[in-house]
Amino acid sequence: MISDNDQTGAKPLLSRDSSISAGSFNQMPRRRVSGKLAKPERHQSFSRDIGHAAAETYLLTRLTITLLRYLGVGYLWITRLAALGFYAALLMPGFLKVAYYYFFSSQIRRSIVYGDQPRNRLDLYLPKNLDEPKPVVAFVTGGAWIIGYKAWGCLLGQQLAERDIIVACIDYRNFPQGTIGDMVTDASQGISFICNNIAEYGGDPNRIYLMGQSAGAHISACVLLDQAIREAKGEESISWSVSQIKTYFGLSGGIMEGEESLQLYSPGVRIEDPSIGNAVSLLPPIILFHGTADYSIPSFSSKDFAAALKRLGAQTELILFDGKTHTDLFLQDPLRGGKDEMFDHLVAVIHAGDEEALAKDALAPPRKRLVPEVLLRMARHISPF
């Protein structure tokens, strides 16, 4: 924590070379209010803001240093960091437009508190027209369990809000600030907040969908399975139910199939455990999206998870996108604009049964291009993901 020392009683110190004499200093006017020196309120407020920003910067720097010490900084990490920098620079035209929307749009409610931990915040992306309750997507962002942040879902939130869908991007503690168990707990609390409070923001509590991308897909799948297991065991102290989730969407999910050593946090392994009872039967319909050219998290992760779910009777659909990489489906394709097969499928599932919404979707203008094609191709080639 950063705090200022109390120096109310300290006397001013003048150096020998000072051009201000002691006499002239005593003659300098002093503003007094009711016999006391006036307090510079604006200055103090600004100082508090600076102090808060400094504290946050210190926290992030300390976590980064801890992470680098844990991983070790070698040639591979340096080259990947450089590739990440070039990748971000190539997509910067789109990132700047998205960042402007994030910070200045009146349709976003940023950093709504859902729990008591430092990262227990969520952002809400609201449609312009809230004349009737809208469907809701609770979204858990990716970030390799290390750099996940709620703002990463801004582009998805903006584009779904344009289709009259509310998006809630859930933030959570990352490693090394928290363990995977902490991440699962945070995400579950965020989902609970959405299920119990979204009506206040114009959302329909009977049409809530859960979605996760990359590490966020893994975390949200763990949350969903944990909740189903608790309900199958008859636990009464639950604040939300899997029955409130209409469909689960997993995009490029990792550790879905898992290994025996990671059984507690490997949904594909855990659903095979006989001790969880009928938990799998309580799960909502599950749709998994994955690119076949994803080398960060190969598509067999989703294939194996889908196969295990189907074998146990869960309603599951696996949709593979030929030649798509880990970032194509979530970043490059949305930044490209125009028609997007995954986005269209997502909207179609959410609006299923709503003839008016489907009619509007059919007439919706194509999404705007945010990055020139040549930069997108270069970014795809250099991407470290």
Separation between Cα atoms, residue 366 and residue 209, nearest integer Å: 24
Tell the residue number behind the tokens 């189907």, with chain if given: 310
**Cα distances (angstroms) measured from residue 279 to each of 149, 183, 192, 225, 231:** 30, 21, 19, 7, 7
What DSSP line would sit under 233-291, residue for residue?
A: TT----SS-GGGEEEEEEES-SSSS--GGGGGG-HHHHTT-GGGTTHHHHPPPEEEEEE
Return the closest-CA partner of residue 107 out of 178, 151, 161, 163.
161
Compute the CA torsion angle 222, 227, 228, 233 (nearest 10 deg). 130
Return the closest-CA partner of residue 262 out of 202, 207, 304, 222.
222
Catalytic site residues? 214, 294, 326
In this structure, what are the phi and psi dihedrals at residue 327, rounded to the nearest 5 degrees?
Answer: -100, -10
Buried b / exposed e across 294-327, counting CB within 10 Å, b at 16+?
bebbbbebbbebbebbeeeebebbbeebeebbbb
Tell the residue number behind the tokens 């001790």, with chain if given: 275
Sign of the C-alpha dihedral computed for residues 365, 291, 79 and 81 taken in this order: positive
